Amino acid sequence: MGRLLATLLALLLVFPATLVRAGENQEEKAWRVVVARDVYTDYQRFVGQRDPLSLKNFAGPFSRRDVVELVLMQQALERGGANRPLRFILTDSEGRTLKALINGEADISGASSWKSSTAKHDRQLLLSRPLIREGHFMAGLYFPEGHPALKILATQPQEIRRYTAVCADSWTPDLLTLKALGSPVLKTENWESMLGMLKKQRADFVLAPFQPTAGLRLEAGDMVLTPVPGVKVSLEGSRHFLVWRKGLEAEALLKALDQGLAALEHEGTIQRAYRESGFDNTALQNWRILNR
C-alpha cells in the first residue's frame, strides 16, 4: 500500500493537475499536442464522426479560428509525412500551454500563437511558417447583446475610452491594441474568466475574432456577444504553430509541419478554413480599423 501511494505521488509531481491527457492508451511514440481545453472540447463537437484528415468543409457549429487550426495542424503533419497518433494535453490558459512546450511536456501546439509571445523562449521553441501573417488578424469589439454601447459606438467609436475591456494577461497583442484604443483594461487568466468578468458586469467588452454566424454573434457559455457594427481592430504580429526545440525529432517534425502547411496554403485550404470559420470575413473589408 505504501509503495502504491508513493508511486501515485510521484506521478502527480510529473504530471501537474493543470494538465489533462486525452488518449493515454495510444502508442508511446505519439506526438504530444498541447491545446486549450475549451478548444479541444469545441474541436470534438465540430468534427463529430468525421475524419479530420479528410475534412474539407470548415463551416458549421463550433467552428472558429483555433478549432480549425487544430484540424489544419493534423492535415499538415499528414501531408508532410509525420504520420503518428496524437496524444492531446489539455491546459486552461495560453500561458500554461506555452509552459508545457517550454518544459518539454508536449511536442507541438494544436493552435497558433503570437510570435511576440515566444520572443524570450527561442532556446526552447521552434516556430512554423506563419499561418496568419503580419497585419492580417482582425478582431471585433464584442459586447454582451443589448449593451447600450453597441449603438453609441456605431456612430461615435472614439467613445470606446469610456468602456472597460477584459483580457488575459498573456495576450500581449490584445493588450497593446487596447492600450492604443485608450480603454481601461482588467487583466485575468483565460477566456473563461474573461467571460465571467462580463457576466458580473465588471467589464464591458472583449476583443474577439469575427464569427461565421448571423449578425456575427458569438455564443460563449450562457452569454451572447455582439460586435460593434462598422468597426474593427488590427492585432499586429504573425501567428505560428510551436514545436519543442529539444525534442529528439524536433527538426524533422518542424520540417514535416512546414511542408504540409505550404501544401495546404498552395491549395487554398488554409485560406478557406479561415474564411469558412468566420475569421477572415470579406464582407467586413470596408469596416473602419480603429487603431490605424
Bigger pLDDT: 41 or 120? Answer: 41
Joined grid coordinates for residue 172:
500581449
Q: Cβ(30)–Cβ(3) under 8 Å?
A: no
Joined grid coordinates for residue 63:
467552428
Bigger pLDDT: 273 or 93? Answer: 273
Kindly state the DSSP code that residue 28 receives in the 8-state scheme: T
pLDDT at 221: 77
pLDDT at 27: 47
Q: Which CATH superfamily is domain 15-133+239-283 in?
A: Periplasmic binding protein-like II (3.40.190.10)
Q: Report which of 163, 145, 135 is spatially closest to residue 232, judged by C-alpha positions.
A: 135
pLDDT at 13: 38
Indicate the pLDDT class of residue 50, thresholds 50, 70 and 90: very high
Dump pLDDT digits (tens) for 209-247: 998 888 999 988 789 999 999 999 999 899 999 999 998
Q: Report which of 166, 139, 153 is spatially closest to residue 237, judged by C-alpha positions.
A: 139
pLDDT at 23 over 70: no
- Asked if the 137-236 domain carries CATH number 3.40.190.10, the reply is yes
pLDDT at 11: 39
Indicate the pLDDT class of residue 94, thresholds 50, 70 and 90: confident
Indicate the pLDDT class of residue 18, thresholds 50, 70 and 90: very low
HSE of 182, CA atoms in CB hemisphere, 13 A: 8
Distances in Å between the Cα of 243 and the Cα atoms of 16, 29, 124, 172 are 20, 16, 9, 20
How many CB atoms within 10 Å of residue 17?
A: 6
How many residues would you count in the chain? 292
Indicate the pLDDT class of residue 190, thresholds 50, 70 and 90: confident
Longest dimension (CA), the chain: 70
Determine the Cα–Cα distance for residues 130 and 116; give it in Å rounded to an integer.
13
Residues of the chain with CATH 3.40.190.10: 15-133+239-283, 137-236
Joined grid coordinates for residue 204:
464591458
pLDDT at 14 over 70: no
Percent of the chain with pLDDT over 70: 90
pLDDT at 26: 43
Average the pLDDT over 100-124 and give the result: 93
Kindly state the DSSP code that residue 205 receives in the 8-state scheme: B
Joined grid coordinates for residue 130:
506563419
- Across the chain, what does the average pLDDT equal? 89
Q: Is 276 exposed, middle or buried (0-12, 13-18, 19+ CB in 10 A)?
A: middle
This prediction's pTM: 0.81
pLDDT at 28: 57
pLDDT at 4: 45
Q: Is 123 exposed, middle or buried (0-12, 13-18, 19+ CB in 10 A)?
A: exposed
Q: Report which of 189, 165, 193 is spatially closest to residue 179, judged by C-alpha positions.
A: 165
Dump pLDDT digits (tens) for 136-167: 999 999 999 999 999 999 999 999 999 999 99
Q: Cβ(246)–Cβ(104) under 8 Å?
A: yes
DSSP conformation letters of 103-133: TTS-SEESS-EEGGGGGGGTTTEEEPSPSB-
Average the pLDDT over 163-178 and give the result: 93
